[in-house]
Amino acid sequence: MLAGRLHVSTGKFAVEEVDEPHAGPGEVRIAVRAAGVCLSDVHLIQGILKPLYLTGDSVTLGHETAGVIDEVGAGVTGLTVGERVLLQAGEITGGKVLTRGVDYDGGWAQYAVSSAATVVPIPDTLSFEQACFIPDAVSTPWAAITATAGVQPARAVGVWGVGGLGAHAVQLLRMIGAAPIVAVDPLPGARERALQFGADLALDPADPEFADLVGEATGGTGLAFAFDFAGVAPVRVQASRSLARWGKLILVGLTDQPLTIPDGTRFSFLEQQVRGHYGSGPESVLELLKLVALNRLEFSRSVSGIMPLTQAAEAVRQLDEKEGNPIRLILVP
């Protein structure tokens, strides 16, 4: 079968022929119908991110995957051939958090094998193209908002980086009643998108009046919550300076750069907090699917383009260069 393979030691990525996998005990195989392209995939190819638990040197990328079950392994109950499903973005095995498409083979392929515990049925009304990226692109900001930050209605929130995760963060924050929502992005198209997704204000981080505009929007108090979805050091400095008393800075975007608090005394005096966040648990995906089923959420605006698996490298280039300002590009075998 065809699969998008990364050779970690060389950084070489290519769609190539590999042996077709089969479901073992406790596993199912799905015929992949859609797989999302995430900035984490780009960073893996660039070597910015490295697999922690990968056995061997090569891995099929893709942690956002949906399709149809076509093989059920021994001992699996409650799942049947023909079911429409999505796959959780990872799992805990042996006390380790393993990520699909990073630590083991993912969904940029014609077929993908998954532990039955990470398979989630989806309704017929939800397209594969929208279902595939609910794990990660939607569930990561959802978990950051509801679990790590504990955002409450009518509290001022800032979102730095309105890309694949940040755009959904704005949509989700609007749904739960956060207000005002201040979106921050250097790209005019991203700022316009933020307003369309529900932000009350969209700012260029380089605006010389940035601090005054945030103060005006929040009645002079600052932000109760500031989310960094960009993983860029200057973003974290600006976000921390925008916090209110008892404000929380939530670090979602990944970076290997050090965290700098520009005024530690002020940060401590105002009793502010920094919290790290990574991914989401399986419960977040289930909560989001319930909201989708109740027509509280829909993600058609998030599908920026659909491309064949054979063009995976081109999809990676477009996302890396922000060509067309994509939220999610989708690969189909």
Q: What number of CA atoms fall less than 13 Å from residue 33's CA on the CB side?
A: 20
Answering whether pTM is above 0.85, one says yes
Q: What is the pLDDT of residues 56-75, one digit of tens each?
A: 999 999 999 999 999 999 99
Per-residue pLDDT in tens (0 to 9) along the chain, 333 residues:
999 999 999 999 999 999 999 999 999 999 999 999 999 999 999 998 899 999 999 999 999 999 999 999 999 999 999 999 999 999 988 888 899 999 999 999 999 999 999 999 999 999 999 999 999 999 999 999 999 999 999 999 999 999 999 999 999 999 999 999 999 999 999 999 999 999 999 999 999 999 999 999 999 999 999 999 998 899 999 999 999 999 999 999 988 788 989 899 999 999 999 999 998 989 999 999 999 999 999 999 999 999 999 999 999 999 999 999 899 999 999
Residue 13: helix, strand or coil by DSSP?
A: strand
Closest CA to 298 of 163, 133, 53: 133
pLDDT in tens, 96-109: 889 999 999 999 99
Give me the phi and psi of 70, to 5 degrees please.
-125, -5
The dihedral of CA 274, 279, 282, 287: what is its sign? positive
Q: How many residues does the chain have?
A: 333
210 burial via Cβ count (<10 Å: 0-12, 13-18, 19+): middle
User: With contact defined as beta carbons under 8 Å apart, do 119 and 28 qualify?
Assistant: yes
> In the chain, which ranges are E strands?
2-7, 12-17, 27-37, 58-60, 65-72, 84-87, 90-93, 96-99, 111-115, 119-121, 157-160, 181-184, 201-203, 223-228, 243-251, 273-276, 303-308, 328-332
Within 8 A by CB and 6+ apart from 98, the residues are 53, 90, 91, 92, 104
- Backbone phi, psi, residue 59, to 5°: -150, 145
- β-bridge pairing 90-93 and 181-184: unpaired
Q: Is there a contact between 306 and 286 (Cβ–Cβ < 8 Å)?
A: no
Please tell me the distance from the alpha carbon of residue 25 to that of residue 50, in angstroms, as a whole number: 29
pLDDT in tens, 141-184: 999 999 999 999 999 999 999 999 999 999 999 999 999 999 99
